[in-house]
Structure 1
Amino acid sequence: MGIFFEKKWKFLIFLFLGIVFGWGIYFSLKPINFQKEEREECRLPDLPDGTEKIVTKIVDGDTFLIEGGYSVRVLGVDADEKDHPCYEAAKIFLENLILGKKVRLEKGREEKDKYCRYLRYVFVEGKNVSLELLKNGLAVARVSPSDLKYKPEIVQAEREAKEKKIGCKWGEKNFFWQNLTKEKTGLEVVEACQAEKYYGKEVIVEGMVVKGYRSKTNTVFLNFEREYPNQCFTAVIFHSRQGNFPPSSETFYENKKLRVRGVVKEYKGKPEIILENPSQVEEGK
């Protein structure tokens, strides 16, 4: 009887150790499986260069769905996301231009992005959709350094829209300025994209804050007219002075037309003004 129980306990011990060992192997291999699953998560069918597809839904001003439910991101441009000023205008324009129509999809340098979207230059009825968005002032140019396809046309289309002040992005709006004016300060008012001509001079710089950013050193950067690193001008608020300004200044001033006063300095080839007190800033009304 004793021998029977002794064998039974030995069997149970070996069984327990076997289970523990098996689970150890399973969990040691599992991360590799997860990595494999992550790599295979975005599986898009092959879409040959020049493929024509019907557009079934517009997501925003630069993204849409084609038959099969696959997402396409228009190359060469960047339109506003939801809750930004030109989102609706760009989306409606794209709907009128391509929704329900057959479009031709041309490849760029890359096949897809991290959001599992095809990256394509898009053509409808012989028109380059990127150029149409830019010409109508509904998007900004976004060209990868490694993708030079259509770059001259894209850059030119944006330049002309800005010069002619066309559309939601560049169209003129009559802003009222109460304090930071030439009459009250005696200072010249210059556009943000012209600020580089005034290094070392005290002026008033006017422009749209398109993106704010808070760095790891808790410095706030307000980038005018274009996002970093292509910004025309930057207003900088160091940590020691942020108590003088609204909380979360990096988002508070986004998408607002501002005038900032100060001496224009150069930093890494770009013009900037250091903001120390609120009297240096005025929002257009």
Structure 2
Amino acid sequence: MKRKIKNRVKKRFIFIIFTAFILVLLISYLCYFRLSGEAVKNSNERGFVTKVIDGDTIIVEGKKVRLLGIDADEKGYACYEEAKKRLEELVLNKAVRLEKDRIDKDQYGRLLRYVWLNNTNINLLLVKEGLAIARIENAFKYADQFVSAEQEARTKAIGCKWSLVAKKRYKNYRWNRLNEKLGLKIVKACEAIEHLNEEVIVEGKIAEVYISKNNNAFLNFEKPYPNQCFTAVIFSHYLDKFKNLKDYEGNVVRVKGKIKEYKGKAEIILKDPNQIEIGVLVI
């Protein structure tokens, strides 16, 4: 009789231990599932961009966010304004998705995130456009893409970050007419807005030649309309004097005249072919 009681107690004890073990496993699984779900949720936050601080830092609904994988110029450096302006164009006053990597915050308490607008990785786009460099010590998910994007931008001298390459290229051009002998100041196309009402020579690369329905020609420098930083304008009644306007497209040129402002952009009106010259590459 005593043996039967001992066996029953033993079986109940084993049953209780087994049941407790199963409960522990179940609770552990549920906790893991919940935590994993929170991690997935938190790795893809959404928010509204209320301010752009600089080319790699924004404020999203009161939280400061540092764009992962990139480094843009600080204030006082060459590409600060252009990178900040471009980031404003892309995300300011827009809803974005914030994707987290392994590290949540930097030493300053800023959230480290990839910023997505629809299906576009904004961080990566800024590197592709030559407005920021790759900085991948905390960016694990897309490290190879950032490095590849920077290499391509650097090789092709794309954007402000690699403008030194472009400036070096400009120095290798010979100018037969529009040169220092004229005694005029020579300014870069994107600096022309700082010389309004001055008679100068403007130098830059023509990104686009556009002829309107009214037969007016617009030679847009550095970037196509509406992102050009300077335009040489030829009105229709002067157009016959200029031959093969498309030959200017893609070339580094100089134009001479008085700089005027039109809708916030600098421009020079060309009335004579002697006001424009294509640079001759010196090898």
- TM bucket, shorter chain: 0.3 to 0.5
With normalisation by structure 2, the TM-score equals 0.48
Which structure is larger by alpha-carbon Rg, 1 or 2? 2
With normalisation by structure 1, the TM-score equals 0.47
